[in-house]
Amino acid sequence: MTLNRGIISSPDERDMFIGWARAPAVDRRFLVAALPLGLAGVGGAGYALAAALDDPGAGAWLTGATHEVEGVFSRTPYPMLRIADPAAPFGMRTILVIAEGKCTSALALDAFAGEAVRASGVLIERGPRRALEVPLAHQDWIAQLDAPPSPALAAPAEEDLGPVSLAGMIMDSKCFFGVMKPARGRTHKACASLCIRGGIPPSFWARTPDGREAVLLMTNADGGPMGDAILPLVAEPARVTGRLVRVGDIVQLRADAGDYAPADA
């Protein structure tokens, strides 16, 4: 290829491509060589970019199947079901109840608080963590059972595991449990903020010293729901000082919004 040194046409390049005419032979030869290389470069860029993506994370959103459970519904700190499961730690499994979309707080479930219920929905799971995605438009997915609620499920034992200081990231439990992968970082910040603002429980994602993943249900220092005050820190590296409290089979991270700070602060 001869570079035309600019603005004065060179006698070495007599043939000029004109759109409405047949391309000159010199251009055809150039294009025959250059276009396959260009296409390979474009395809290679797509291949390489996809191959370099970070681990999207664990979790699954089991759409296409309806999961039915029986257990005790709890309204606080977030809507959740506790079901008996002898194979699970402490003989029970807690399943968060999350609405379709990002508006879980719109679910009207006070009538079922503390009652034994049968519920069905789409299961979302990440390791031992579970959530049940349910419709927002109707309540056919939940029905109260005649049987009285199991006291062990209605009021599970609490165990104070002591104070803790952790570094990690605040996630929305729905996306992070498996609806979106990856569901972390800046590109997911707005989504996670909307989810938490809409009533989806926040989780604190941290690594234990031995590298294992820890997903802690976030509550305020009194064990109640977190407010919107933590929204600025969602999906950003953060530090927190609080207490760990085991409630049934799950561990709550109890800390007020003021106990959280950016990790680089």
Partner 1 sequence: MGHKYQAIQWNGNKLVYDAYVVIAGVAFLGAFFFVGLAPHPSGHAADPVVLAIRALGSAAFVFLTIILAIGPLARLSRRFLPLLYNRRHLGVFTFLIALAHFGLATLWYHGGGPLNPLVSLIVSGQPGDPFPGVPFELLGLAAFAILFVMASTSHDFFLNHLGAPVWKAIHMGVYIAYGLIVLHVAYGYLATEAGPLAPALVYGSFTGLAGLHVASGLAEWRKDGAMSGRKGPFGRDWIEIGDPTRIPDGCAVIAPLPRGDRVAIFRDGRSLYAVQNACRHQNGPLGEGALIDGLITCPWHGWQYSPRNGVSPAPFSERIATHDLRLESGVLFVSARPNPLGREGATVAIGGAIVGGYNGDAAP
Taking CB under 8 A as the criterion, which residues in 216-255 touch partner 1? 228, 231-232, 234, 236
For partner 1, which stretch binds (CB under 8 A), given 24-32, 147-155, 204-212, 218-226? 24-32
Exactly one of 194, 214, 257, 263 binds partner 1 (CB under 8 A); which one? Answer: 194
Q: Is the dihedral of CA 237, 58, 209, 220 positive or negative?
A: positive
Structure-token match 């579970």, residue found: 130
For partner 1, which stretch binds (CB under 8 A), given 11-19, 107-115, 148-156, 157-165? 11-19
Site for partner 1 in 110-149 (CB under 8 A): none
CB 146 within 8 A of CB 111: no
Residue 84 CB, shortest distance to partner 1, in Å, is 30
For partner 1, which stretch binds (CB under 8 A), given 13-21, 69-77, 80-88, 202-210? 13-21
CB 238 within 8 A of CB 170: yes
Contacts 24+ apart (CB under 8 A), 79-86: 79/104, 79/107, 79/109, 81/117, 81/119, 81/132, 82/153, 82/154, 82/156, 82/248, 83/153, 84/150, 84/152, 84/153
Tokens, residue 207: 């690594």
For partner 1, which stretch binds (CB under 8 A), given 22-30, 156-164, 209-217, 247-255? 22-30
Q: What is the DSSP string of 18-63?
A: -TTSPPPHHHHHHHHHHHHHHHHHHHHHHHHHHHTPPP--S-EE-T
Exactly one of 170, 191, 206, 250 binds partner 1 (CB under 8 A); which one? Answer: 191
The residue (of 52 and 87) whose beta carbon lies closer to partner 1 is 52
In terms of Cα–Cα distance, which of 213, 229, 230 is closest to 176?
213
The residue (of 37 and 65) whose beta carbon lies closer to partner 1 is 37
Does 197 bind partner 1 (CB under 8 A)? Our answer is yes
Does 55 bind partner 1 (CB under 8 A)? Our answer is yes
Does 215 bind partner 1 (CB under 8 A)? Our answer is no
Exactly one of 25, 32, 37, 48 binds partner 1 (CB under 8 A); which one? Answer: 48
